[in-house]
Amino acid sequence: MDSPNVKDLIISSGFKFNKALGQNFVTDKNLLNAIVDDAHVTYDDTVVEIGTGAGTLTRAIAEKAKQVISFEVDKNLAPVLDLSLKGLENVTVVFKDVLKMQKEEFEKIVSTPFKVVANLPYYVTTPMIMHFLESDLPVISVTVMVQKEVADRLVAKEGTKDYAAITLGVKMRGKACVTRTVSRQMFYPQPNVDSAVVNITIDKNKLPDTDLKKLSSLVKCAFSMRRKMLTNNLMSGYSISREAALDILKRADISPTVRGEALSLDDFVRILKVMEG
């Protein structure tokens, strides 16, 4: 069965968009299939979709995956999904907010290794991505369609304006790449900005000898006051003297005048090793 026309489904079901949830649905079949391809979904995969929406991406995933477990916060979409997902036996829609679920509750629903695929609204992008990257759930990869400016931050290089704490949060747990940009005209209703698809291949053993929680805290400290030198941020974030902060940087072979935005992941790891003594 082909994916039904989204606009027709929404009109016939009487669904009203919730602006607070940032609802913008993908309508182009070719784009939907391309997102699934970008996620490297195979017939052996369990896919967790975040944000079922009108079910268009859900259906495209279901055509390639073994099973799809899709989480949606807006129960008002149920009548739309009854129509758009009709006939699909490998799809389960769960009307719950993943970010508010306990690990045990999630594992009762998703019991095998999985890939995440999602078309995320701006307000939930960072917490959702980091939720899966920081968890000890058996997640293989995360493929998300996000605002273009967010995608730029996820894959930014050090020393650029887009380089941020989220960039390093992803780097320390995997590898991210932008697979395609998506015009705002591909959504219904049309948003005000363009989007991009980002694929993150997860490797939670990328830094086996590093405490990732401590490393994350160091990174957040470094970017807490972006335009200040790292020396000042270390003093403020760790309640240490200027002399102590300068000594840490000297022993890590880091310039005393450097800002956090200029440092690579390896630089931060080296600083942390010095701080741990």
Does residue 58 belong to any structural domain of this protein? yes
Range of the domain at 245: 212-276
- Note the pLDDT of residue 76: 86
202, 232, 263: which is the final residue of a domain?
A: 202
Q: Is residue 1 part of a domain?
A: no
CB 46 within 8 A of CB 106: no
Q: What is the pLDDT of residue 14?
A: 56
3-state secondary structure of 214: helix
**Domain CATH for 160:** 3.40.50.150
Give the three-state DSSP class for 139.
strand
Residue in this structure with the two tokens 């182009």, named with its chain if needed: 28
pLDDT value of position 17: 53
Q: Has residue 157 been placed in a domain?
A: yes
Identify the pLDDT of residue 1.
45
Q: Is residue 232 part of a domain?
A: yes
Determine, yes or no, domain membership for 207.
Answer: no
190 domain residue, yes or no: yes
Identify whether residues 12 and 75 lie together within a single domain. Answer: yes
Dmax (CA) of the chain: 68
Which segments in the chain show pLDDT lower than 70?
A: 1-25
Which residue, 162, 181, 202, sits at the end of a domain? 202
Residues 241 and 166 in one domain: no
Q: Choose among 71, 62, 55, 61: nearest CA to 15.
A: 55
| pLDDT at residue 191, rounded to an integer | 79
Residue type, 109: I
